[in-house]
Amino acid sequence: MSEELLAQVQAAAPDNKPKIGAYRRHLLVCTGTRCTQDGESQAIFDSLGDKFKAAGLHEGEMRVKRSRVSCFAACKGGPVMCVQPDGVWYYQASGANLDRIINEHLVGGRVVE
């Protein structure tokens, strides 16, 4: 492609691309039916908004994005979560385990063993 044509294509490209906000971490939660069959993963995902607010993870430089994923192919180990960009996976992430993940990893920066 000539430089002139490339410049025309770039000039015609819209500047209104969607932008994702700034986040320190991204928590991916498997809500697939084989992960937890009783809907526990979805209930955990739904609770994260309030938990993030209580921990100060809903705004500012510590902000964490949460997203649902339909399957991580780690069935029956759920609830399963993955923290990015850390590349850390958590299994059976409910109750006290979830609170530890939020307080120790997402807030404190230490991976929960």
Q: Where are the alpha helices (DSSP H) in the chain?
A: 3-12, 40-55, 96-100
Q: How many domains does the chain have?
A: 1
Q: 3-state DSSP: the chain helix, strand, coil percent, rounded to 5? A: 35, 15, 45
Q: Do the domain assignments include residue 7?
A: no
pLDDT at 10: 64
Tell me the residue type at 92: Q
Sheet containing 64-69: order of strands: 64-69, 25-30, 81-84, 88-90
pLDDT at 106: 97
Write out the residue range of the structural domain in which residue 87 sits: 22-107
Q: Do the domain assignments include residue 71?
A: yes
pLDDT at 36: 79
Q: What is the mean pLDDT of each run of 10 residues along the chain (113 residues)?
A: 64 67 92 83 94 96 94 82 96 90 97 94
pLDDT at 5: 62
Q: Model's pTM, two decimal places?
A: 0.79
Cβ contacts of 34 within 8 Å, gap of 6 or more: 71, 75, 76
Q: Do the domain assignments include residue 13?
A: no
Q: Do the domain assignments include residue 113?
A: no
E-strand stretches of 1-113: 25-30, 64-69, 81-84, 88-90
Q: What's the full length of the chain, in residues?
A: 113
